[in-house]
Each structure stands twice: as C-alpha cells, then as structure tokens.
Amino acid sequence: MATFVLVHPAWFGGWCWSKVSARLRLADHAVHSPTLTGLGERAHLASPSVGLNVHIEDVVQLLNFEDLAEVILVGSSSAGTVITGVADRVPERVAKVVYLDAFVPEDGQSTRDLIAPERRAVMEELVDSEGFGWLLPRFARPAWDQFVPEAWNVTDVDDLRWVLERLRPTPFRLLSEPIRLAHPKSERLSRVYVRCTQWPNPGFDRWAATAQSSSGWTLYEMASGHLPYITDPDALTVVLLEIADGSNLSSPRS
C-alpha cells in the first residue's frame, strides 16, 4: 500500500482531488489531500501573512502529525513550489516527489519569478486593483469562467459548475515568497515530472525536457489539459499507480 499526499494549486482546495482520491483508495492506497490555509473550506483563514512558508508548513505538519512515511508527494501547478519546500524540510518522510504540470523552483526563487513577465504583470495589477494588495482574485468567481474552457480544457458542464462554486482568491504571498532550500538530502529523492501536453506552456515544456535528460528524474506525458484530476481522473490514476509501483517507470512514459 502506498501513501499519497496530493497538494492542490492556487485558487483550489483539497476538494479538487476527490475523483482521483476515490480511485486510489479503491486500489487500496492511503490518500491525503490537505487544503492549504486560506483556500477551500479554510478560506476564512486567509490573511496578508499567509504565504508559501505557511502552505509548506501545512503539509509538513500533516506528515508529522499523521506520522506518514515513504510518501508519494504530488503537487499540481503552483503547488510544485510547495512540495519542493516540503521535501526539503522532511526528506526522511518522502519517497517520491511528483510535479504534475507544475513549477520547479530553485533555491531563492518564487513561483512569481517563474511566470512569464507579461502574465506576471497582469497578476500584480489584479492584486493591487481588486485584491486589496494581498489577494490574487483572477480565476476566482465570477471571472474564472471566461478562461477555463479555453485554457484548461474543463468543458463538462457539471465539472465546470462544481469547480466554479469552490474557487477562492489566493493569498499572493504563496506566489511571491521565495523558497529557501537547506537540506541536501532532499536532492537525492526520486522525482517525477508529469507533463499535460494539451495545455501549452513553454516553462513546463522546459522542465519536462530537463526531467527526461536528468538522472533521478522520470518523465510522464499525458494527453490532457492542465487539470487532469478533474478532466481525466482515470488516466491520472493510472499514472500515479505506475509511479507508486516503480517497476514500470520509464522516460518518457505516455
């Protein structure tokens, strides 16, 4: 039995993993999908002080208090920065780090540093004009619906309604706070990059190419949009089960 910890991206919550979590549990694996502070059912805890370090600590304390070991740590999109920090703080509890169409920061970088300059400028303007200087409201209700079908391939009406009702603004410090890496042991952890090829993103393509050519990394490719846990849960579950098994890893894997 494997233990999965699934970490959601900005605007979402642990709820977004429910389809995949159910499938993994049917395969007799343990699954945890924490909601990060200030989002989802914990949106009432949002404040200007909530940022990357708080979100890293959310997951670290889950691992500690649940006494989890040999964890397969999965992060989607901006959660790639979160899981990088978690693996650095408690490498002894982590078996594999899985970046699901996610950012892969280096020491001293923030997620904002890794976003294309033109998009970064729009996000910062939204924080100042609509987010009181500390919240990122873009893709939160009601504006998100104009972007989802085109950008992230969420086309099912029921899925779209389910998602839109649950999105919340994200404390911008999640994206602007730089990561600090201090434990070399974490660099020896097995890492996997899962690239969702139906969502164009040059940065993610670069990390996928690096994973394909780097020792200690494995590349998977999925013919899906950016949110396969919503749009393609069966296919994503197959990938995660192969990652858990380990014996079927190859580079790349489609």
CA 227 to chain centre: 10
Q: Is 249 exposed, middle or buried (0-12, 13-18, 19+ CB in 10 A)?
A: middle
Cβ distance 72 to 96 under 8 Å?
A: yes
Strand partners, 31: 4
Secondary element (H or E) of residue 46: none
Q: Which of 49, 23, 24, 21 is nearest to 35 (CA)?
A: 21
Strands 135-136 and 170-171: antiparallel
Please, what's the largest Cα pairwise distance for the chain? Answer: 50
Secondary element (H or E) of residue 95: strand 94-100
Measured CA to CA, the distance from residue 227 to residue 51 in angstroms comes to 23
The catalytic residue among 77, 110, 176, 224 is 77
Query: For this structure, is 77 an active site residue?
Result: yes
Residues marked active site are found at 77
